Structure 1
Amino acid sequence: MSSTRIARTVHVAAVAAAFAGAFAAAAAAQDSAAGKDGKGDGKGRPDAVRGRQAVIKVSGEGRSTTAPDMAVLQLSVVKDAKTAREALDANNKAMADVLSALKQAGIAERDLQTSGFSINPQYHYPQNNDGGNRPPELVGYQVVNGVGVRVRDLGQLGEILDKSVSLGVNQGGGIEFTNDKPEAVITEARKAAVADAINKARVLAEAAGVSLGRLIEISEQPSRPEPIPVVRSMAKEFAADSVPIATGENAYNVNVNVTFAIDQ
């Protein structure tokens, strides 16, 4: 009888200990979830909303303009002849005259770079009035030699173009106005882009009835800012016999992405 009572006492004590351990574990889990301030986010994260930080993500765009200080020309000499040798000799002479004139005009060696060279056979395709197949006839060769020219003194640009054509340039690939050192202009565009993003974030926060918090992340979109021609009435005055030139302005664009925290 005594042994039965002892067994019952041990069983009751074991059950009580089990319940006490369960309650202690539950209390510990609740404290962990509540955190030190008792409001949650103690890594147990009972509240899913408190587990994610509220943020505002915006993009900003900035633009800064400046007058170009350099032009990049693409000039070519094209010569045709009966043989490849004759076409090459004629092209070499004309291109040598062009390069010599460019150097005499003050263009440095570092601003002259061959941009393309080709020798192409020229064919005549006879009409097949009788329905037969006639092979093409080789009638000559064409040699094309191109050169890229950086003109740093825009006051000479019209004269250089005119003289180049007179000396043998008979094909042009375009002209691009740019800036030798655009870093300062790009910096202004970056500042404008960040200011634009901050203003957008403030408007969004005000509209949502929240306060803008700390800056979390800011990044510039990876593409390097390139000049975008802006039409302006800024034609330069040159001699009457040179090519008229309108330089206009260049605009540099920068885009940034900015993330702010929300203070609630």
Structure 2
Amino acid sequence: MQDWHMHHYLPTQRGKHSPQTITVTGQGTVTVKPDTVIITLGIRTEHTNVREALSENAQRAGVMIQALKAIGVHEEDIDTASFSIYPKYNYTNGISVLVSYEVEHIFDITVRDTKTVGNIYETAVANGANIARHIQFKLANEQPYYQQALAIAVKNAKEKAFVIAHTLGLPLHDIPIQIKEESLAPTLSPSLPSTVVLAEQQTAPPIQTQDIIISAVAQAIFTY
């Protein structure tokens, strides 16, 4: 998919003995499906005794990790994103009373086959996970797609220059005297922002991958 944006440009003169130039900016866009997904989910436990909360969390995390490995997730693709212990208080008549401790262990799981995302959610929930946070869609290697977008951008810049030259009846030279790449970060699908608490008996809904847009901009100066 290509997306070109037209702008208005005017020929410029740099002095009596300087070459007369036309400066144009071309843009190229490539839309691709992600091949990598980062799932952020984890386990939240609560107990009046902090050691019990920690113990239960560790036990459930171990079960979840083993279950994920059993369906093909590699251990190096399961990383701790955060680990927290929160004391919880009740406030009565201005007095705070410690009632429990909440332990939360959050993992980033890298999924290299996007078709398995739903099964990974389902397996994690069935084996201890009770909180899900973000899901991010990525490309393992965006360079080939960026190079495609850059080639489109350069071609787009040249076409714009020739449109301007033809309109004004100018003898444009084919090769630009200067070309400048302006890098753009890929537009990734947004993460799901809110925390979702998952019931243990609930299966995850089907996950639909979102497109990633790779854009490139090239500025070129042609003489005539």
Aligned-pair CA distance for 1:149: 0.8
Cα distance in 1 for residues equivalent to 2:17 and 2:122: 70
Aligned-pair CA distance for 1:187: 1.7
Match status 1:168 vs 2:134: no
Cα distance in 2 for residues equivalent to 1:249 and 1:173: 20
Structure 1: unaligned runs, 5 residues or longer: 1-47, 129-133, 230-240
Aligned-pair CA distance for 1:106: 0.9
Match status 1:249 vs 2:202: no
Aligned-pair CA distance for 1:54: 2.7
Aligned-pair CA distance for 1:210: 2.1
Q: Which residue, 81, 97, 101 being the options, matches 2:67?
A: 101
Match status 1:181 vs 2:141: yes
Greater Rg by CA? 1
Match status 1:137 vs 2:97: yes
Match status 1:118 vs 2:89: no
The residue number in structure 2 matching 1:258 is 220
- Which amino acid letter does the alignment assign opposite residue 64 of structure 1? V
Match status 1:210 vs 2:170: yes
Cα distance in 1 for residues equivalent to 2:177 and 2:133: 47
Query: 1:207–1:108: structure 2 CA closer, same or farther, 3 Å change rule?
Result: same
CA offsets per residue over residues 165-220 of structure 1, 9 Å max, x none?
12121221221222222322222111111111112222222333323234122222
Cα distance in 2 for residues equivalent to 1:83 and 1:217: 69
Q: Which residue, 150, 153, 160 being the options, matches 1:200?
A: 160
CA offsets per residue over residues 71-111 of structure 1, 9 Å max, x none?
11111211111132222111111111111111111111221
Query: 1:195–1:78: structure 2 CA closer, same or farther, 3 Å change rule?
Result: same
TM-score by length of 2: 0.78
Query: 1:123–1:220: structure 2 CA closer, same or farther, 3 Å change rule?
Result: farther
- Which amino acid letter does the alignment assign opposite residue 201 of structure 1? A
Query: 1:151–1:219: structure 2 CA closer, same or farther, 3 Å change rule?
Result: same
SS of equivalent residue, structure 1 residue 68: coil
**Kept after mapping to 1: 8 A contact 2:185/2:214:** no
Q: Which residue, 203, 217, 222 being the options, matches 2:183?
A: 222
Determine which structure has greater relative contact order: mean sequence separation of CA pairs < 8 Å that are 6+ residues apart, divided by chain length: 2
Cα distance in 2 for residues equivalent to 1:177 and 1:227: 7
- Which amino acid letter does the alignment assign opposite residue 187 of structure 1? Q
Aligned-pair CA distance for 1:244: 1.6
Cα distance in 2 for residues equivalent to 1:153 and 1:176: 13
- Which amino acid letter does the alignment assign opposite residue 200 of structure 1? K
Cα distance in 2 for residues equivalent to 1:114 and 1:83: 23
Query: Number of aligned pairs?
Result: 198
**Kept after mapping to 2: 8 A contact 1:72/1:148:** yes
TM-score by length of 1: 0.67
**Kept after mapping to 2: 8 A contact 1:228/1:252:** no
Structure 2: unaligned runs, 5 residues or longer: 1-13, 191-202
**Kept after mapping to 2: 8 A contact 1:159/1:243:** no
More helix by share: 1
The residue number in structure 2 matching 1:89 is 55
- Which amino acid letter does the alignment assign opposite residue 184 of structure 1? P
| Residue identity (%) | 30
**Kept after mapping to 2: 8 A contact 1:115/1:147:** yes
